[in-house]
Amino acid sequence: MNKRTAIAMAIGLVLSPIAHAAEGQFDWLSFSGFGTIGASETDDKAVSFRMPYQKNGKANDWATDVDSRIAAQFDVNRGGTFSGVLQVMATQRYQGEFRAEVEWANVMWTINENWRVRAGRMVTPVFLASDYKNVGYSIIPVRYSLEMSGNYPLSRHDGAEVLYNTEVWNGRLQVQGYAGKTKYDFINALGKNSLDVGGIYGVSGTYSTGPWTVRLAGSAVRDMKTVGDAVPTFNLASKVLHAIPPAACSNCAEEAQKLDTSVAGMSADFLTIGGIYDDDTWYGQLEFGHRKIDGFFPSVDSYLALGAYRWKRFTPFLSYAVFKTKSNDEAALPALPGIPGIVAAQYNGLLKANNSSRSMTSVGVRWDFYTNVALKLQADLVKHDRPSYGWSGAFTNLSPTTYDGKVNVYTATIDFIF
């Protein structure tokens, strides 16, 4: 089995029932799973690293709970037009503990060979690897780019989806239309918070032919409310800004409205486009993401370029990614006599906490040393655009006064499927 076939099998693990079907009266039920055992550290005491939805991150010390996860998947298919899937994954969550959550739980109706409908909890098909990015074995680097996934952190939704598949020229086209709602828990400088999303609507199109795969996706998020520790701070800052006369501050009312919108319900639009080339030896991936939002949180552009070469059981790889916030600096309050200094400082501090623009160059190697098991080593060279800002997220600036803007992250993982 070549490595592309093995990775394709790992992707298939989360897309169809492939493994461990029970015999006899339970042959309609299949079980499979995946996992990652990982360890990572930064080389600077000023900057810690974690997944954005996690609480704990370490600086200049090894952490084993950032990339580590274990998941089980149950597929049900009694041979008719209806099938179902349940996927449960345990990893470190925003509580700081290793907890299991339901990632997928949906029922699918296969109408014919072209049309399918499903309802329940499912992945939101935004990125090239949205369907399988949690399965470390299915991707070449140790983790899917946080610069890309940070653009659209709402990885799943509860709702319904219509899928259409057809042959086009010498390839296959799949179009997905979906709608639903979701909730995303995260930790930032203001504490534990959630984005409570009342409506997600989107369309995704994927076309594959030979070694090429391309995806274009658009998603609209509506009624996205900030819930949690940040709300009292947002409300207080809004009240103060609304009280400042326009003559003293021309943009205070606008900034106050952004805070109000973040609590009452934001709207955001997302666009992603990307392509993969994989001919069993060479692998290339390009991806772009754009986020536009009307609340306090920044609009973002993301870029990813990844290349790899397969040689026997080894796959060395190199990637470059960018996460660029676009709106926060423009909104900073000026130091004017009509604005209390403490108000401007606190509000601008909130803006800076979300302004984590950065670039990342990653180099590593994957070693498929055993059937369905891969060892990966990776070094990430990170450069932050604004090292003096107290930002948080995947990276948290613990010492804005001493950080020089450059930090490296070293990671080793063992990925497996079963």
Give pTM, 2 decimals. 0.90
189 has a pLDDT exceeding 80 = no
60 has a pLDDT exceeding 90 = yes
265 has a pLDDT exceeding 80 = yes
Q: By the 8 A CB rule, do 375 and 411 touch? A: no
pLDDT: is 102 or 334 the higher one? 102
Q: What angle do CA 255, 261, 264 make, to 5 degrees?
A: 150
Neighbouring residues of 326: CB distance < 8 A, sequence distance ≥ 6: 298, 299, 300, 301
Q: What is the pLDDT of residues 362-403, one digit of tens each?
A: 999 999 999 999 999 999 999 999 898 888 789 988 998 899
Cα-based distances in Å from 369 to 37, 132, 204, 296, 376: 15, 21, 35, 47, 10
- Separation CA 290–CA 300 (nearest Å): 6
pLDDT the model gives residue 8: 59
Give me the helices (H) in 183-251, please.
230-242
Angle between helices 341-353 and 230-242 (to 10 degrees): 140
Select the CATH number that applies to the domain covering 3-417 from these four: 2.40.160.10, 3.10.20.600, 1.20.140.10, 3.20.20.70. 2.40.160.10
Cα-based distances in Å from 64 to 36, 78, 407: 10, 40, 19
255 confidence band (pLDDT: 50, 70, 90): confident
